[in-house]
């Protein structure tokens, strides 16, 4: 049996790992893309997609699902297993990515119909339920990353594989942490390593610092721009702001509105649906570019996609608010390589309409991460006690830190490159 690493190897993005059994039955663990200012990066080509027997999807984020329509376009017709919230969220995220790709003249290689066709093959599975396909059995567990997210246990040919997807073991305002009664003594653990080289500050401290920064900006007459991921981060920031009265309107823009409405239809996927509904009813919704331009000239807090400042309504706000030193841009999550968010943090500039633009507004990053920190990843690994350990979904520094630790504690580990094959 072997793993073929098609993506997310020493990088964050385009998660896609192929599991090949001894009789050449093939499964995919996620099928994502990597979005950046330089364009879309796909996983290493999956040969003969029509030969894939099933895809196990951990959650809806595009770096785990964005490759599905292209696989459909290229002939894949197998079942795609996902939770109900994941299927629903994937639909809106894929549609938005397709729309943005066309607007940027960066086509994704498939047609809109491929989104519907790929999703038509989705089979829903509940958290903690077991499923099977052919000789393979699998189970999904709550990963605590975003609503509907899962880590996945696959059993086939007498071997056991545990795939974390993206996992967060700590409670947030939106979600309970991941289920930590992990399957034990598996043959292979494939774990994310996004924060493998560092810890997160206490969430309460981060929330307090974020609110203080927003309050100081408003007191000096400025506005606050909060780039967010549509799923998970937008709702958490809404919940946080709903508990405060900062004296200015809070606006919600981009896909965050649609995503929040969808999540309210899946109350079991979030910690407290009543609190989220209350927060949702307190914000003001932005209905289009004309309204966006008008309100950007007024004082307010603007919560909008995209979280890495790679496109969407945030770009309109950035062009209006970024030139005024009274304003603040409060980044709320991981900023990937070659994204505007990373560029802002490293250089103080971003690309707007293709032009490198210096930002005069205050900017700061806050750790509202939905990924496990280094110590929690180590606890996970020790708790699972795998025969072999494979790191993915992390920058080289993060993966190397865990790789070195695994050697010290005598766990056989791999930090593969794209295209590598691991036999077990």
Is residue 50 scored above 80 in pLDDT?
Answer: yes
311 plus 400 within the same structural domain: no
Q: Which residues pair with 423 in a beta bridge?
A: 2
As a whole number of angstroms, the distance between CA 16 and CA 392 comes to 10
Q: Where is the domain boundary, 365, 383, 414?
A: 365
As a whole number of angstroms, the distance between CA 73 and CA 92 comes to 19
pTM attached to this predicted model: 0.94
Q: In the structure, what pLDDT confidence band is assigned to residue 13 with cuts at 50, 70 and 90? A: very high
In the prediction, which pLDDT does 176 show?
Answer: 96
In the prediction, which pLDDT does 103 show?
Answer: 79
Q: How many helices (H) and strands (E) does the chain have?
A: 13, 24
In the prediction, which pLDDT does 130 show?
Answer: 96
292 plus 386 within the same structural domain: no
In the prediction, which pLDDT does 102 show?
Answer: 84
Q: Are strands 150-156 and 136-142 parallel, antiparallel or unpaired?
A: antiparallel
Q: Where is the domain boundary, 322, 349, 365?
A: 365
Q: In the structure, what pLDDT confidence band is assigned to residue 365 with cuts at 50, 70 and 90? A: very high
In the prediction, which pLDDT does 8 show?
Answer: 98
Average pLDDT over residues 137-147: 98
Q: How does pLDDT run across 267-277, given as a tens digit for each residue?
A: 999 999 999 99
As a whole number of angstroms, the distance between CA 15 and CA 20 comes to 17
Phi first, then psi: what are they for 11, rounded to 5°? -160, 165
In the prediction, which pLDDT does 154 show?
Answer: 99
135 plus 77 within the same structural domain: yes
If one counts the domains in the chain, the total is 2
Phi first, then psi: what are they for 393, rounded to 5°? 55, 55
Phi first, then psi: what are they for 244, rounded to 5°? -120, 155
193 plus 290 within the same structural domain: no
Is residue 242 scored above 90 in pLDDT?
Answer: yes
Structure tokens at 383: 């708790």
Structure tokens at 150: 């899962």
182 plus 211 within the same structural domain: no
156-182 burial string, b = 16+ CB within 10 Å, else e? Answer: beebbbbbbbbbbbbebbbbebbbeeb
Residue 37: CATH number of its domain:
3.60.15.10
DSSP string, 239-253: HHHHT---SS-EEEE
In the prediction, which pLDDT does 216 show?
Answer: 98
CB 329 within 8 A of CB 322: yes
As a whole number of angstroms, the distance between CA 366 and CA 217 comes to 15
Question: CB under 8 Å to 141, separation ≥6 — which residues?
Answer: 127, 128, 150, 151, 152, 153, 178, 179, 182
Nearest alpha-carbon partner for 353 in 105, 61, 57: 105
In angstroms, what is the C-alpha Rg of the chain? 21
8 plus 46 within the same structural domain: yes
Q: Is the peptide bond before 306 cis (omega within 30 degrees of 0)?
A: yes
122 plus 257 within the same structural domain: no
Q: Where is the domain boundary, 365, 385, 415?
A: 365
178 plus 236 within the same structural domain: no
Average pLDDT over residues 349-364: 95
Q: Are strands 328-331 and 26-29 parallel, antiparallel or unpaired?
A: unpaired
CB 424 within 8 A of CB 401: no
In the prediction, which pLDDT does 24 show?
Answer: 96
Average pLDDT over residues 245-261: 95
Is residue 35 scored above 90 in pLDDT?
Answer: no
Is residue 66 scored above 90 in pLDDT?
Answer: yes
272 plus 360 within the same structural domain: yes
| Domain enclosing residue 182, as ranges | 2-198+370-423
- Residue 238: how many CA atoms within 13 Å on its side-chain side? 31
Question: CB under 8 Å to 114, separation ≥6 — which residues?
Answer: 69, 70, 72, 73
Is residue 32 scored above 90 in pLDDT?
Answer: yes
309 plus 377 within the same structural domain: no
Query: Considering the chain, what is the average pLDDT of its residues?
Result: 96
As a whole number of angstroms, the distance between CA 69 and CA 120 comes to 11
Is residue 38 scored above 80 in pLDDT?
Answer: no
Q: Which residues pair with 18 in a beta bridge?
A: 4, 28
In the prediction, which pLDDT does 337 show?
Answer: 84
Is residue 298 scored above 90 in pLDDT?
Answer: yes
247 plus 305 within the same structural domain: yes
Q: How does pLDDT run across 173-206, given as a tens digit for each residue?
A: 999 999 999 999 999 999 999 999 999 999 999 9
Which helix (H) or strand (E) is 91 found in, with range?
helix 84-103
55 plus 78 within the same structural domain: yes
How many C-beta atoms surround the C-beta of residue 232 within 10 A? Answer: 30
Residue 306: CATH number of its domain:
3.40.50.10890
Q: How does pLDDT run across 77-134, given as a tens digit for each residue?
A: 999 999 999 999 999 999 988 988 887 788 788 889 999 999 999 999 999 999 999 9
Q: Are strands 388-392 and 413-414 parallel, antiparallel or unpaired?
A: parallel
28-59 burial string, b = 16+ CB within 10 Å, else e? Answer: bbbbbbbbbbeebbbbbebeebeebbbbbbbb
DSSP string, 192-260: E-TTTT--PPPHHHHHHHHHHHHHHHHHTT--EEEE--TTTHHHHHHHHHHT---SS-EEEETTHHHHH
């Amino acid at each position: 049996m072997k793993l073929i690493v098609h993506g997310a190897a020493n990088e964050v993005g385009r998660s896609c790992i192929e599991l090949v059994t001894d009789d050449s039955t093939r499964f995919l663990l996620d099928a994502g893309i990597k979005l950046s200012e330089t364009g879309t990066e796909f996983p290493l080509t999956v040969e003969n997609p029509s030969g894939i027997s099933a895809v196990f999807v951990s959650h809806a984020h595009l770096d785990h699902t964005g490759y599905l329509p292209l696989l459909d376009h290229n002939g894949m017709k197998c079942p795609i297993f996902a939770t109900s919230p994941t299927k629903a969220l994937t639909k809106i995220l894929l549609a938005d990515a397709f729309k943005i790709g066309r607007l940027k003249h960066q086509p994704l290689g498939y047609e809109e119909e491929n989104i519907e066709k790929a999703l038509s093959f989705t089979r829903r599975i509940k958290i903690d339920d077991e499923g099977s396909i052919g000789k393979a059995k699998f189970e999904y567990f709550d990963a605590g990353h975003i609503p509907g997210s899962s880590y996945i246990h696959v059993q086939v040919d007498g071997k056991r594989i545990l795939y974390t997807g993206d996992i967060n073991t700590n409670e947030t305002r939106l979600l309970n942490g991941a289920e930590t009664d992990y399957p034990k003594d598996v043959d292979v653990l494939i774990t994310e390593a996004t924060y493998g080289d560092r810890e997160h500050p206490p969430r309460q401290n981060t929330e307090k610092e974020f609110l203080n920064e927003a309050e100081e900006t408003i007191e000096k007459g400025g506005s606050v721009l909060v780039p967010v991921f549509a799923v998970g981060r937008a709702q958490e920031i809404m919940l946080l702001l709903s508990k405060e009265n900062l004296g200015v309107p809070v606006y919600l823009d981009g896909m965050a509105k649609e995503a929040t409405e969808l999540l309210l239809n899946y109350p079991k996927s979030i910690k407290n649906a009543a609190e989220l509904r209350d927060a949702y009813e307190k914000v003001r919704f932005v209905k289009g570019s004309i309204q966006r331009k008008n309100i950007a000239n007024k004082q307010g807090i603007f919560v909008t996609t995209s979280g890495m400042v790679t496109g969407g309504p945030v770009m309109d706000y950035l062009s209006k608010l970024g030139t005024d030193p009274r304003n603040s841009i409060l980044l709320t999550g991981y900023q990937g390589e070659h994204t505007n968010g990373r560029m802002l943090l490293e250089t103080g500039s971003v690309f707007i309409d293709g032009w490198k633009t210096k930002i005069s507004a205050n900017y700061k990053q806050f750790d509202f991460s939905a990924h496990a920190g280094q110590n929690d990843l180590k606890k996970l690994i020790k708790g699972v006690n795998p025969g072999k350990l494979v790191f993915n979904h992390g920058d080289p520094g993060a993966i190397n830190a865990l790789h070195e630790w695994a050697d010290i504690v005598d766990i056989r580990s791999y930090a593969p490159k794209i295209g590598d094959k691991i036999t077990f």
